[in-house]
Amino acid sequence: MEISRVGVIGAGQMGNGIAHVMALAGYDVIMSDISQEALDRAMATIRRNMERQVSRGKITQDQMNAALSRIQTTLNLPDIGAADLVIEAATERESVKQAIFEDLQPHLQPHTILTSNTSSISITRLASRTDRPERFMGFHFMNPVPVMQLVELIRGIATDEETYRTCLGVVERLGKTAASAEDFPGFIVNRILMPMINEAVYTLYEGVGNVRSIDQSMRLGANHPMGPLELADFIGLDTCLAIMNVLHDGLADTKYRPCPLLTKYVEAGWLGRKTKRGFYDYRGEEPVPTR
C-alpha cells in the first residue's frame, strides 16, 4: 500500500517530532491537537529544530522550507481521517487513546492504517476497540524523534502482514531502523530501560547514593550518555511511572513494582524537565539535584 498522507494526533514532544521527520521524508502531514497553543508551540519547535539541522549541514534551507510547507495543523480531529496512515501520539493513558480512536473511526478511509506511538500499552487491546484490528499496530518512536534512529514496530495478534510491511517501508523511507517487537508490556526498549530507571530511583530511595553520584556512576562506570535519573527527568516521571505500572500490572512480577519515591515525585507534580523540577531542579542556570 502506498502512503502519501500521514495524520499525527497530539502535538507534544513526540507528536511534533514525528511530524518533523515525516515531512522531511516527503510525506504530507496533518497534525491535530485539542489546543491551538500546543499546535503553535509544536510548529515553533519543528522550525527551531529544522533550523538547527540546517546550521549543522544535515539538511538544506530548501529542504526545510519544503518540509514546513507539507505540515498542516488542525483542532478538528475528523480532519485526520483523510490520512493513509494515522499515528496517535497522545497522553500515555489507555482511556484517552481509546476515546481518540473511537471519535476518529467514522471519518477514516477504508484503507487507512491506524497506529499508536504508545511506549507500553497493549496493541492487541487498543486494536480490538477499533473496526480494523488487522490494520492496526504499534509505531513506537524514540525521543527525541529527529535524532534517535530506532522505531519499534509492534504487531497485535490480529495485525496483518501488509500492514506490517507498509509501516516497515515508512520507517525505511525515514532513514531509521525498525525493531520488531512482540505485543507484551513495555515491548523491548522500555521492558529493559524502565526497570533500570526504577532501580536507580530505589538506589536513591534507599540512600545508597545521591542523585549526582548515581548519575555520575552510570555515565562514567557504564559509559551511558546520560545518567538514569537525568534520563527519567527527560522522559517525564509521570511517563516512567505509567510504564512501570503497565509492566507491574501486565506481568504480575514484584520486580516491576514502581519505587515509592517515583510515585511521590509524580504526586508532587515534579515530573522532570517539562515542569522544571524532578530529580533535578531546572529553574536556575544549571540543573541542581533535588536530593
Q: Is 81 annotated as a binding residue?
A: no
Q: Is 13 annotated as a binding residue?
A: yes
Question: What phi, psi does 136 have (nearest 5°)?
Answer: -135, 135
Q: Is 274 annotated as a binding residue?
A: yes
User: Which of the following is catalytic: 20, 88, 120, 140?
Assistant: 140
Contact in structure between 171 and 145 (CB atoms under 8 Å)? no
Q: Is 12 annotated as a binding residue?
A: yes
Residues in contact with 128: Cβ distance below 8 Å, sequence separation at least 6, in sequence order = 156, 158
Q: Is 92 annotated as a binding residue?
A: yes
Residue 198 annotated in active site = no
Residue 117 annotated in active site = no
Q: Is 264 annotated as a binding residue?
A: no
State how far the Cα of 247 lies from the Cα of 236, in Å rounded to an integer.
17
User: Which of the following is catalytic: 117, 152, 198, 230?
Assistant: 152
Residue 172 annotated in active site = no
Q: Is 119 annotated as a binding residue?
A: yes
Q: Is 11 annotated as a binding residue?
A: yes
State how far the Cα of 221 lies from the Cα of 273, in Å rounded to an integer.
25
State how far the Cα of 265 lies from the Cα of 248, in Å rounded to an integer.
19
3-state secondary structure (DSSP) of residue 138 = strand
Residue 152 annotated in active site = yes
Question: What phi, psi does 259 have (nearest 5°)?
Answer: -65, 135
User: Which of the following is catalytic: 32, 190, 198, 230?
Assistant: 190
Q: Please report the DSSP string for 15-68 in residue order.
A: HHHHHHHHHHTT-EEEEE-S-HHHHHHHHHHHHHHHHHHHHTTSS-HHHHHHHH
User: Which of the following is catalytic: 49, 116, 117, 119?
Assistant: 119
Which residue ranges are tagged as binding site for NAD(+)?
10-15, 33, 92, 97, 119, 143, 274
Which residue ranges are tagged as binding site?
10-15, 33, 92, 97, 119, 143, 274
Active site residues per annotation? 119, 140, 152, 190
